Homo-oligomer: A and B are copies of this chain.
């Protein structure tokens, strides 16, 4: 058995109203931050799965993403394999 780490991103589907995203956009106007648009706010779940191989692990995660972590009627879930390959940078903590 091997352990695999995944992330599930859950975001409102295109065309579905996203009140949180709209609220962020309006806040940015008030804060004089220009040039930001198309804000969508969702959830991210990271988890470790122990399975004989990666396909089995991913199948488990995709089932959880669909059945538990998202409402497929209004949300789109995507599964991401974690392992440092994604172009991600840490944001330095503010003091």
| CB pair A60 B79 closer than 8 Å | no
How far is A9 from B79 in the complex, measured between Cα atoms in Å? Answer: 14
Choice from B41, B46, B86 contacting A40 with Cβ under 8 Å: B46
| CB pair B36 A60 closer than 8 Å | yes
Encode contact with B along A63-88: 1 for CB under 8 Å, 0 otherwise. Answer: 01111101010001111110001111
Q: Which B residues are CB-close (under 8 A) to A49?
A: 35-37
Given A37-B48, A50-B37, A79-B72 contact (CB < 8 Å): no
| CB pair B43 A39 closer than 8 Å | no
| CB pair A9 B44 closer than 8 Å | yes
Choice from B31, B39, B68, B89 contacting A45 with Cβ under 8 Å: B39
Q: Which B residues are CB-close (under 8 A) to A87?
A: 80-81, 85-86
| CB pair B39 A46 closer than 8 Å | yes
Q: Which B residues are CB-close (under 8 A) to A78?
A: 88-91
